[in-house]
Structure 1
């Protein structure tokens, strides 16, 4: 009888160890996008240096919209046919990579 109870305990103990599942680790990634606040300005408010840079660097394009931030940087949306591009410049007309 002792052997029977001992065998049952070993079998049940073995089954309970196999039934235990390891905890799953769920990783979550958080992305924070820092974006300078740009406010829309009229195309007339864009400095001539910026307009000149756009005309030289991107010929045959049209200035669709212009935005300006507190750092005096410009975000320009230009288009050529059905393609649209976004270009960032400073007030002097230097193109900024973002």
Structure 2
């Protein structure tokens, strides 16, 4: 009887662990899909960047230079920007110039 009880406990524990592992895998897959969607940017000419986006950069980063611009299907712009002090970075903005957190 003890063996039957112990076997049942191990079987139940294994099923619970498997279910938790599958939920974790689904969460990682969802996060990866979102990251890919956000990274699906295609390069555009600097002239195609909306005035609101360039104005935001000029206002918040005086003297900054936009080196490269890309756009995704959600009309979000990823800009590679260089500052006067030699540092550089990337900004992601919507078409109205609002920053989007990554």
2:74 to 64, 71, 76: 71
Aligned residue number for residue 50 of structure 1: 53
Q: Structure 2 regions of 5+ residues with no counterpart?
A: 1-24
CA distance in 1, matches of 2:46, 2:60: 18
Shift of 1:40: 0.2
Runs of 4+ with deviation above 4 angstroms = 30-33
- 5 Å matches for 1:12-91? 33=32, 34-35=35-36, 36=38, 37-81=40-84, 82-91=86-95
- Structure whose residues are more often strand by fraction: 1
- Structure whose residues are more often helix by fraction: 2
CA RMSD of aligned residues (A): 1.6
Shift of 1:74: 0.4
Aligned residue number for residue 95 of structure 1: 99
Aligned length: 69
CA distance in 2, matches of 1:73, 1:97: 11
Q: TM-score, normalised by structure 2?
A: 0.62
